[in-house]
Structure 1
Amino acid sequence: MEPHNLCTSLETLAQHINTIIDLISSYYCFAVLLVVCLSILYLARRRKAPIYLIDYACYCPPSSCRFPIATFEENQLFDGMDPEAVAFQCKIISKSGFSEETSISPSLFRMPKIKALSFALEEAETTMCSVIQDLFQKNNINPKAIDIVITNCSVFCPTPSLSAMVVNKFRMRSNIKSFNLSGMGCSAGIISMSLAKDLLRVHRNSLALIVSTETLSINWYSGKVPSMLLSNCLFRLGGAAILMSSRVQDKHKAKYELQHVVRTTTAQDDQSHNCVYQDVDPENKEGVSISKNIVNVCGDAVKKHIASLGPLVFPSREIFLYVFSIVCHKLGSTRSTSIYIPNFNHAFEHFCIHSGGIAIIQAVERNLRLRKQDMEPSAMTLYRFGNVSSSSIWYAMSYIEAKGRMKRGDRVWQIAFGSGFKCNSAVWKCVCHMKPDTNTAWRDTIHSYPVEIE
């Protein structure tokens, strides 16, 4: 073969080899890309490890801690508080939706009142340890079986922490994962659940104990500023302990399975950030100021929150009608087209709304177009126990169970509001056949409810 022809043949062969290599490379890249896409699709569709709520317990204060309005007035006047400030508080309480059964810490009955760390520690220990003990006994739980403990108390943050107190009192394991949340307001209970959910999914086959409470002893306000006096009128003694699990063996004894946790904060806005604020008054007396704009701030936070929660829980029809109404509203020349409010009863069978105050409950009912029976658990919680801060959503759920209304497959919406300003939600699905629970904070009075609130 001539050299010229040999060179031509070699060039042709090289071209064919390059073409084959290119094809192989393309097929290889396509295969890799296909595997990556399928993997992403699988991971996106794969159901996350379920998180279960095994049980919970709510603290029922003894009758000796009962604080009716007549006792409140006498207590404040005898303690030397300004008569006008006492009259203002009594007026607020008379319109608060409270019964004569709400309770305060025993230390607040002392004359004169003394803000002492020892009293606050005693209150926290009594409330938290009592409700944990009830939960453990009811479910035959050994404290050493707990892998994660989370406590939340907004305005009381001692050293050692409240979570350390729990570990110490119940002699839990040395390798337990312990957390304490403070300054997070009345929505801290759901923040604790969010933290527990993440930890339980990382540390599989684990048990988490959450304790939600608030301490009144060290935060009672004795000055004259109306916005700070409101906290004396609203907050009452209470607490809850919750047992969550990611253990497979707990599936058949769990009450609920966690569906979603959604959190919204509006702290970037000054008005929202300052509407609930711990401060000192002109006389250097410490208290928590509650702005008169709190209902409007809460309403704005709820609207933003629903925008995040809605796509997760509403059926397609409700989402379509909502989006369509927004488009019509934007395109309408007069902007007279009203925005469609989704029917929340198509997403949930039960509602546990933070009982922050009668104005908050009424505003939520009005703005979300809920029914009176939807608000009943929260309204009765406020009436019987007052604003028990982050634990209020559990008293409301306990009310539903005690009434025998919870059924397997029912969806429950817990929503709480807190300083910052925050609006947080947890969505649960009942996974067992629920019987009326007589061993709850409502055990002696559930037959008396509901009642009309004036």
Structure 2
Amino acid sequence: MDGGGEYTSGSGGAVGVQIQHSRRLPDFLQSVKLKYVKLGYHYLVSHLITLCLVPIMLIIIVEASQKNPDDIRQLWFHLQYNLVSFVICSAFLVFGSTVYIMTRPRPVYLVDYSCYRAPENLKAPFSRFMEHSRLTEDFDDSSLEFQRKILERSGLGDETYVPEAMHFIPPRPSMQAAREEAQQVMFGALDNLFVNTNVKPKDIGILVVNCSLFNPTPSLSAMIVNKYKLRGNILSFNLGGMGCSAGVIAVDLAKDLLQVHRNTCAVVVSTENITQNWYFGNKKSMLIPNCLFRLGGSALLLSNKSADRRRAKYKLVHVVRTHKGADDKAFQCVYQEQDNAGKTGVSLSKDLMAIAGGALKTNITTLGPIVLPVSEQLLFFASLVLKKLFKKNVKPYIPDFKLAFDHFCIHAGGRAVIDELEKNLQLLPVHVEASRMTLHRFGNTSSSSIWYELAYTEAKGRMGRGHRVWQIAFGSGFKCNSAVWEALHNVKPSRNGPWEDCIDRYPVQVVS
């Protein structure tokens, strides 16, 4: 569990763009002019090759039409008597095309995915959460007050879920209860996935499961194999201890396996387990996960079959992974340990947001050149030249990622995480709406949160053909991982989606 960082309260913020009344009209008009100048520059540079080629092609056509017909006949006669050259060139062309087709990366399609929605009896409104904390008698007055303040500014609503073991007074964490939580979430998501995709469990060739803090024996992946009677030669993997960004890592692993194994399907299951990882002590930095993490999980069906392209929702475009674990501060900023009383929990450092910002910067330095339009890359390069060569005191240019992506799924680790990325990436409130509303409705569901966010965008009817989605996740270690998806058609929400019963109520005003 990681990615909270709620020591800073953030600005909160309702969804929607507002122009403050105190802003002067001339300044507003000037900003609008600059916006359209930049858009004009972007379209000009993006279509520069087309704009240059069209007049050249016109000139060639005009020149060819004015040529002597005898010259064209002589050219055809010359080609007829150079059959050897023609055959050799054709052979090279066929050979090159074959090599390209055989060695190019196989496309990976996201056929569908499912997010788990817990039953009503597992909801944990603030009042019940605080009442249970008082009655357990594990927390002193200072800790209770700290949890109350964190909850008030966390961005979570009153409809998030905690596992059944935490609803008892006192709570009943046990290995059996933890297994039951894992089965409830994973099997719930998988049952819905198999129904929506009509895929038989025996058709699954690859299984990747990630859960950071609960790693029993037999593994969670073995638990799924046993439940659905998956085939004996399945390639199964169980990723543990990799934090909230492990969902992207699991997708990356499945993608690599699908490059090797032809005509097969992969299932990726992302979850976290709360039952045995609730903290019953009074160390402030270890109490934050109690306030933020909630019950949830997701299951994805990936395929490299060309026949699945027609029914798939998305195509995987890029995965970029950044690991800052070589730095001691980054390594220890999300750390599972025991407090002075010997009680185990996950401690979140006050340096978390600064470390996350550094990891994000490294990640987008790699991602930027492969997704940003040429216009933005030129502006970034120009600012770099001015700063390095001419020693000009200019701020580094922040690329406009809104020109590369249509939708943003920022890990709902906490309100401060979303606020920081909204500011650093210069996003509009509508771009972080899915992240804020996911945090409000479901809380921090760890590595599965980015899928609840994508489901929100679909439920709102905003996902169109060709739209690009950027999923950004942070995890212990410290890691920042990105996945880029492209919608293959206008995507509609799947049956029994996580937002099916409440999407009409969202977005809601989040109290600051």
- Normalised to the residue count of structure 2, the TM-score between the two structures is 0.79
Structure 2 partner of 1:392: 449
Q: SS state of the match for residue 424, structure 1?
A: strand
1:113 and 2:183 matched:
no
Q: How does 1:187-226 map to 2 (within 5 A)?
A: 187-226=245-284
Deviation at 1:311, TM superposition (A): 1.0
Deviation at 1:436, TM superposition (A): 4.5
1:343-401 alpha-carbon deviations (Å, 9 max, x no partner): 11110111111000000000000001011100000110001000000000000000000
Question: Is the 1:136–1:142 Cα contact (8 Å) retained in structure 2?
Answer: yes
Please give the alpha-carbon distance, in whole angstroms, between the structure 2 residues aligned to 1:265 and 1:330: 27
Among candidates 298, 303, 307, match of residue 249 of structure 1: 307
Paired letter, 2:211 = C
Please give the alpha-carbon distance, in whole angstroms, between the structure 1 residues aligned to 2:385 and 2:340: 50
Shifted more, 62-71 versus 397-406: the winner is 62-71
Question: Is the 2:272–2:446 Cα contact (8 Å) retained in structure 1?
Answer: yes
Deviation at 1:45, TM superposition (A): 11
Distance 1:441 1:304, change over 3 A: same
Structure 1 partner of 2:419: 362
1:424 and 2:466 matched:
no
Q: SS state of the match for residue 112, structure 2?
A: strand
Question: Is the 2:407–2:431 Cα contact (8 Å) retained in structure 1?
Answer: yes
Structure 2 partner of 1:24: none
Deviation at 1:69, TM superposition (A): 1.0
Deviation at 1:90, TM superposition (A): 1.1
Distance 1:288 1:40, change over 3 A: farther
Please give the alpha-carbon distance, in whole angstroms, between the structure 2 residues aligned to 1:230 and 1:246: 41
Please give the alpha-carbon distance, in whole angstroms, between the structure 1 residues aligned to 2:303 and 2:464: 21
Paired letter, 2:489 = C
Structure 2 partner of 1:184: 242
1:270-305 alpha-carbon deviations (Å, 9 max, x no partner): 111110000000000000001111111100000000
Please give the alpha-carbon distance, in whole angstroms, between the structure 2 residues aligned to 1:60 and 1:349: 26
Please give the alpha-carbon distance, in whole angstroms, between the structure 1 residues aligned to 2:484 and 2:98: 25
Please give the alpha-carbon distance, in whole angstroms, between the structure 1 residues aligned to 2:148 and 2:393: 43
Structure 2 partner of 1:345: 402
1:316-364 alpha-carbon deviations (Å, 9 max, x no partner): 111111122122123454x530111111111011111100000000000
Q: SS state of the match for residue 409, structure 2?
A: strand
Structure 1 partner of 2:504: 447
Give me the CA root mean square deviation.
1.8
Structure 2 partner of 1:327: 385
Q: SS state of the match for residue 276, structure 2?
A: coil
Question: Is the 1:263–1:422 Cα contact (8 Å) retained in structure 2?
Answer: yes
Deviation at 1:48, TM superposition (A): 1.7
Could you tell me which runs of 5 or more consecutive residues in structure 2 were left unpaired when the two chains were aligned: 1-87
1:165 and 2:223 matched:
yes
Could you tell me which runs of 5 or more consecutive residues in structure 1 were left unpaired when the two chains were aligned: 1-30
Deviation at 1:438, TM superposition (A): 5.4
1:16-67 alpha-carbon deviations (Å, 9 max, x no partner): xxxxxxxxxxxxxxx9xxx9xx969965996421100000000111111111
Among candidates 155, 170, 178, match of residue 213 of structure 2: 155
Shifted more, 138-147 versus 191-200: the winner is 138-147
Structure 1 partner of 2:460: 403
Q: SS state of the match for residue 414, structure 1?
A: strand
Structure 2 partner of 1:56: 113
Q: How does 1:3-18 map to 2 (within 5 A)?
A: none
Q: How many residues align?
A: 418
Q: SS state of the match for residue 288, structure 1?
A: strand
Q: Which structure would you say has the larger Rg?
A: 1
Please give the alpha-carbon distance, in whole angstroms, between the structure 2 residues aligned to 1:311 and 1:63: 46
Distance 1:339 1:42, change over 3 A: farther
Paired letter, 1:350 = H
Distance 1:172 1:125, change over 3 A: same
Please give the alpha-carbon distance, in whole angstroms, between the structure 1 residues aligned to 2:98 and 2:304: 24
1:97 and 2:138 matched:
no
Deviation at 1:437, TM superposition (A): 4.2
Please give the alpha-carbon distance, in whole angstroms, between the structure 1 residues aligned to 2:174 and 2:363: 39
Paired letter, 1:389 = S
Paired letter, 2:267 = L
Question: Is the 2:455–2:493 Cα contact (8 Å) retained in structure 1?
Answer: no
Question: Is the 2:196–2:495 Cα contact (8 Å) retained in structure 1?
Answer: no
Deviation at 1:453, TM superposition (A): 1.1
Among candidates 356, 381, 391, match of residue 298 of structure 1: 356
Please give the alpha-carbon distance, in whole angstroms, between the structure 1 residues aligned to 2:348 and 2:164: 25
Please give the alpha-carbon distance, in whole angstroms, between the structure 2 residues aligned to 1:70 and 1:272: 35
Question: Is the 2:267–2:299 Cα contact (8 Å) retained in structure 1?
Answer: yes
Paired letter, 2:203 = A
Deviation at 1:239, TM superposition (A): 0.3
1:58-113 alpha-carbon deviations (Å, 9 max, x no partner): 01111111111111111011001222211111110110001101110010112222
More RCO (CA 8 Å, sep 6+): 2
Q: SS state of the match for residue 281, structure 2?
A: coil
Among candidates 261, 275, 288, match of residue 319 of structure 2: 261
